[in-house]
Every structure is written in C-alpha cells, then in structure tokens.
Structure 1
Amino acid sequence: MKLLVRNLERATTEQDIRVLFSTYGKVTECNLVLDQETGLSKGFAFVEMPDENEAKAAVEALNLSTLAKSKIRVKYAQN
C-alpha cells in the first residue's frame, strides 16, 4: 500500500522516514519529495508498504504523531 506522509520537518531525511515506518513492518520504497531548484524537502513523502495490515497499523499509530518537532499526517495515497 502506498502511504502519503505530510507536514514533515524540512530537515527530515528519507532514512528517518524509513526507520520510523519500519517499526510497523516492511518498507519497500520511501520517496521524500524534493524541490528541484533548491534540493530541499517539500515537506511530504510517499512510503510503500506491501502488507496491508502493517500499513494500516502504521497509519493508525503515526497519523498526528510528532517527528522532529512536527506533527505529521499519514494517510493512504490516492492512485
């Protein structure tokens, strides 16, 4: 399942996100969206978790949780 993670602190890295979501299961892909001009984070990312139950657990646990002083929002990405 593809998840959308929003409201990330600009200094958050793909590795930070991968580690956080790996607590809930296997992460096959993690893409932090970067600004093409500056190379800085745009504040959101996509995380791919193949197991639906693990993805659901991650959404329930991490939505509105705090990561690097930002309250993140996690939901299912639209295809």
Structure 2
Amino acid sequence: MKLLVRNLSRSTSEQDIRVLFSEFGSVKECCLVLDQETGDSKGFAFVEMPEHEEAKAALNKLNMTKLGKNTIRVKVANS
C-alpha cells in the first residue's frame, strides 16, 4: 500500500520518514519529493509498505501526529 505523508518539515529527511514508518513494519520504498531546481524538500513524501495491515496501522497511528515541530498528515496515496 502506498501512503502519502504531508506537512513534513523542510528539514525532515527520507531516513527520518523510513525510521518512523519502519516501527509499523517493512518499508519497501520511501520517496521524499524534492524541488528539481533547489533540491529542497517540498514537504511531502510517499511511503510504500508491502503489507496492507502494517500500512493501515501506520496510517491510523501516525496521521495527525508530531514529527519534529510539524503535525503530519498521512493518507492512502491515489493510484
């Protein structure tokens, strides 16, 4: 299941996101979206977790929680 993670701090790294979601299970892919010109984070990422139940648990537990100073939003990504 692919999840969209929004409202990330510009200083949040792909590794930070991977570690956070790994608490709920296997992370197949983590992609922090970067501005092509500046290389800076755009404040959102996609996380793919192969196990549906693990992804649902991560979504339910992490949506509207704090990561750094920001309250992140997690939802199922549109296919």
TM tier, shorter chain?
A: over 0.9
Tell me the secondary structure at the aligned position of residue 72 of structure 1.
Answer: strand
Number of aligned residue pairs: give it. Answer: 79
User: For residues 1-79 of structure 1, what are the structure 2 equivalents within 5 Å?
Assistant: 1-79=1-79
Alpha-carbon distance between aligned partners in 2 of 1:21 and 1:36, rounded to the nearest angstrom: 25
Q: Which runs of 4+ in 1 moved over 6 A?
A: none
Tell me, which stretches of 5 or more residues in structure 1 are unaligned? none
Q: Matched residues, percent identical?
A: 70
TM-score by length of 2: 0.99
Deviations 1:17-60 (A, max 9, x none): 00000000000000000001110000000000000000000000
CA RMSD of aligned residues (A): 0.3
Separation (CA, whole Å) in 2 of partners of 1:59 and 1:21: 9
Q: Distance in 1 between matches of 2:59 and 2:28?
A: 16
CA distance in 2, matches of 1:61, 1:54: 11
CA distance in structure 2 between the partners assigned to 1:7 and 1:38 by the alignment: 19
Q: Using the TM superposition, give the Cα deviation of residue 16 of structure 1 relative to its aligned residue in structure 2, in angstroms.
A: 0.1
Q: Kindly state the Cα deviation for residue 68 of structure 1 after the two structures are TM-superposed.
A: 1.0
- Structure 2 unaligned segments of length 5 or more: list them: none
